[in-house]
């Protein structure tokens, strides 16, 4: 038994080394690479990706996994389960399809950037058609692999794609939750929109870029991000890239006219990064050192960005630190005014700019459209119209053009269907986890006021991070909080917070 495990561990270690190299090269591409390096980088990355694929589908790995199937150690058994799942999904898709998708993605991204600039969905539509057809084919490859519980409804193509981001989640479970969220959110948005908006005039004007950068570094220290096991740089779009628990890269972006962008960019990515730094890299050959789902990963970023970072007690700690760097801009601003300003609700048409209240409606919209596309209930040419109608029904406003509507996200340009719901699952899990932290730490608001965030991180390390993907996302959250996936905590949080902020009584 010991030998079989040793053999598997060696193979996994090679696989991880290659994946780490891909991660470094990808990070470099977005942060430091000179433009003329792009061509060579595409070749480097695709060669490494092919090597990873080859190792993953190799019969030798299959045999090594089979030898460990009866592994009794629970962590090793979980590692075998996760690796086998990954491997089956990789084997199920023929190489021809993998290549076709990569080519279609490359062409589509260029066309999308162009079409968005000119706000012309018609020019981009053929690419959506092509990617949709390829994704349907992939879904058909994966559908037979989905584990089926007795009494569960027949899975649909969307389920097969969703499984890649949120293992175990099914449309039959997800759709009613999203419908319920939309049903209680829409009236909240309407009531908030009817109330007078808070004043955020003091956030307009120039906030020096260097001072903003220094503030984001101070913020990283406050949340406990280990700069000996990671770093922060600047990029066009903020992202985080875990290479290893000992090497986690974050980026932020700075606009001198929008001081909150760098702050919340850093806080969001730090949430992802803290999770990566806390993963169990030493356990079971490192196989478990990953999140069980994208939704759970997102719960970590949202928890720090929103539940912590948009709370009043946190601003009592952060405002003096920020005011020290921008004394003229923030003179006389109180934590309460700042708290109101950073929680300003607007009927924005753009998802990435949306506030906490309207955000999930953007997800509901995309989920409905993606599902209809995959089922063949909606034709690609009708997508912009369907988008606008549904947007109006959900948010009470229509986009002015395609750029502000159907062309805004990169996901579909990348052929990524089934991903959007993980953002809302992340919001649900974040609210549930934070409610549990609050129960466990009655003095939480005082800790936040003092800028002491170690208690929160310690709780997350203990209940979430250190488990990696040993359990599925929902099981992990249930073990940590007593509640699985549910929108109740999110609802209580949003209705309570915004009801008070906007005086909805």
Binding site for Zn ion (CB under 5 A): 301
CA–CA distance from 16 to each of 29, 162, 275, 283, 467 (Å)?
20, 24, 18, 14, 18
In this structure, what token pair is assigned to residue 238?
Answer: 């903020």
Cα separation, 81 vs 78, whole angstroms: 5
Min. distance of Cβ 302 from Zn ion in angstroms?
Answer: 7
Which member of 166, 269, 298, 370 is catalytic? 269
Closest CB to Zn ion among residues 207, 304: 304
Min. distance of Cβ 66 from Zn ion in angstroms?
Answer: 36
230-234 and 247-252 strand pairing: parallel
Cα pseudo-dihedral 394, 396, 401, 402, rounded to 10: 0
What value, to the nearest 5°, has the Cα angle with vertex 138 and ends 403 and 132?
A: 25
Closest CB to Zn ion among residues 130, 366: 366
240-244 and 230-234 strand pairing: unpaired
Contacts (Cβ under 8 Å, ≥6 apart) of 36? none
Min. distance of Cβ 272 from Zn ion in angstroms?
Answer: 6
Cα separation, 248 vs 90, whole angstroms: 26
Min. distance of Cβ 470 from Zn ion in angstroms?
Answer: 22
Question: Where does 331-485 have alpha helices with state H?
Answer: 335-342, 356-375, 383-395, 421-440, 444-449, 454-463, 473-481
Picking from 222, 177, 163, 451, the residue whose alpha carbon sits closest to that of residue 317 is 451
In the residue annotation, 269 being an active-site residue is answered as: yes
Question: Where does 34-165 have alpha helices with state H?
Answer: 38-57, 59-67, 74-92, 95-118, 121-142, 157-165
Min. distance of Cβ 404 from Zn ion in angstroms?
Answer: 22
Min. distance of Cβ 235 from Zn ion in angstroms?
Answer: 14
What value, to the nearest 5°, has the Cα angle with vertex 319 and ends 316 and 324?
A: 140
Distance of CA 23 to the CA centre of its chain: 17
Picking from 244, 173, 146, the residue whose alpha carbon sits closest to that of residue 474 is 173
CB-facing half-sphere around the CA of 324: CA atoms within 13 A? 7
Closest CB to Zn ion among residues 216, 301: 301
Min. distance of Cβ 308 from Zn ion in angstroms?
Answer: 15
Closest CB to Zn ion among residues 302, 469: 302
**Region for 205 from its dihedrals, namely left if φ exceeds 0, alpha if ψ lies in -120 to 50, beta otherwise:** left
Min. distance of Cβ 292 from Zn ion in angstroms?
Answer: 16
CB-facing half-sphere around the CA of 206: CA atoms within 13 A? 3
Closest CB to Zn ion among residues 300, 388: 300
Closest CB to Zn ion among residues 241, 301: 301
Closest CB to Zn ion among residues 191, 253: 253
CA–CA distance from 323 to each of 198, 435, 451 (Å)?
20, 30, 15
Contacts (Cβ under 8 Å, ≥6 apart) of 458? none
Closest CB to Zn ion among residues 155, 418: 418
Min. distance of Cβ 277 from Zn ion in angstroms?
Answer: 16
Min. distance of Cβ 219 from Zn ion in angstroms?
Answer: 16
Picking from 353, 420, 349, the residue whose alpha carbon sits closest to that of residue 387 is 349
Closest CB to Zn ion among residues 108, 301: 301
Biggest alpha carbon–alpha carbon distance for the chain: 68
Query: Closest-CB residue for Zn ion?
Result: 301
Can you list the pairs that 85-88 forms with residues at least 24 positions away whose Cβ atoms lie under 8 Å? 85/167, 86/56, 87/56, 87/57, 87/61, 87/62, 88/145
Closest CB to Zn ion among residues 55, 297: 297
Active-site positions read 269
């Amino acid at each position: 038994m010991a030998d079989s495990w040793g053999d598997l561990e060696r193979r996994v270690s090679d696989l991880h080394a290659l994946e780490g190299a891909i991660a470094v090269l990808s990070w470099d591409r977005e942060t430091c690479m000179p433009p003329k390096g792009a061509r060579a980088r595409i070749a480097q990355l695709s060669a490494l990706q092919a090597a990873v694929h080859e190792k993953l589908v190799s019969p030798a790995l299959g045999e090594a996994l089979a030898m460990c199937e009866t592994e009794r150690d629970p962590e090793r058994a979980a590692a075998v389960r996760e690796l086998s799942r990954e491997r089956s999904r990789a084997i199920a898709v023929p190489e021809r399809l993998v290549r076709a998708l990569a080519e279609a993605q490359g062409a589509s991204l260029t066309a999308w950037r162009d079409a968005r600039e000119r706000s012309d969905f018609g020019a981009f539509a053929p690419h959506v058609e092509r990617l949709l057809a390829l994704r349907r084919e992939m879904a058909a490859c994966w559908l037979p692999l989905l584990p089926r519980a007795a009494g569960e409804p027949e899975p649909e193509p969307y389920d097969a794609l969703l499984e890649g981001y949120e293992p175990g989640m099914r449309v039959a479970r997800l759709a009613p939750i999203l419908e319920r969220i939309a049903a209680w959110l829409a009236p909240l948005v309407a009531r908030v929109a009817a109330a007078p908006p808070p004043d955020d005039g003091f956030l307009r004007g120039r906030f020096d870029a260097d001072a903003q950068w220094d503030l984001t570094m101070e913020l990283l220290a406050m949340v406990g991000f280990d700069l000996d096991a990671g770093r922060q740089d600047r990029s066009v779009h903020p992202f985080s890239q875990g290479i290893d628990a000992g090497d986690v890269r974050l980026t932020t972006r700075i606009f001198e006219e929008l001081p909150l962008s760098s702050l919340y960019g850093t806080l969001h990515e730090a949430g992802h990064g803290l999770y990566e730094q806390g993963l169990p890299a030493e356990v079971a050959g490192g196989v478990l050192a990953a999140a069980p789902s994208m939704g759970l990963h997102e719960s970590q970023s949202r928890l720090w960005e929103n539940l912590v970072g948009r709370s009043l007690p946190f601003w009592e700690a952060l405002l003096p630190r920020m005011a020290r760097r921008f004394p003229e801009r923030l003179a006389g601003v109180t934590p309460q005014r700042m708290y109101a300003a950073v929680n300003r609700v607007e009927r924005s048409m753009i998802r990435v700019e949306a506030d906490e209240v309207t955000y999930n409606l953007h997800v509901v919209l995309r989920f409905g459209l993606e599902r209809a596309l995959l089922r063949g209930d909606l034709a690609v040419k009708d997508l912009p119209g369907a988008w606008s109608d549904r947007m109006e029904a959900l948010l009470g406003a229509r986009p002015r053009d395609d750029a502000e509507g159907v062309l805004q996200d990169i996901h579909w340009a990348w052929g990524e269907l089934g991903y959007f719901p993980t953002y809302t699952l992340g919001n649900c899990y974040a609210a549930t986890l934070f409610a549990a932290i609050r129960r466990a730490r009655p003095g939480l608001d005082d800790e936040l006021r003092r800028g002491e965030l170690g208690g929160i991180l310690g709780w997350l390390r203990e209940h979430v991070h250190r488990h990696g993907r040993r359990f599925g996302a929902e099981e992990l959250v249930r073990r940590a909080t007593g509640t699985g996936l549910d929108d109740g905590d999110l609802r209580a949080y949003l209705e309570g917070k915004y009801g008070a902020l906007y005086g909805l009584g």
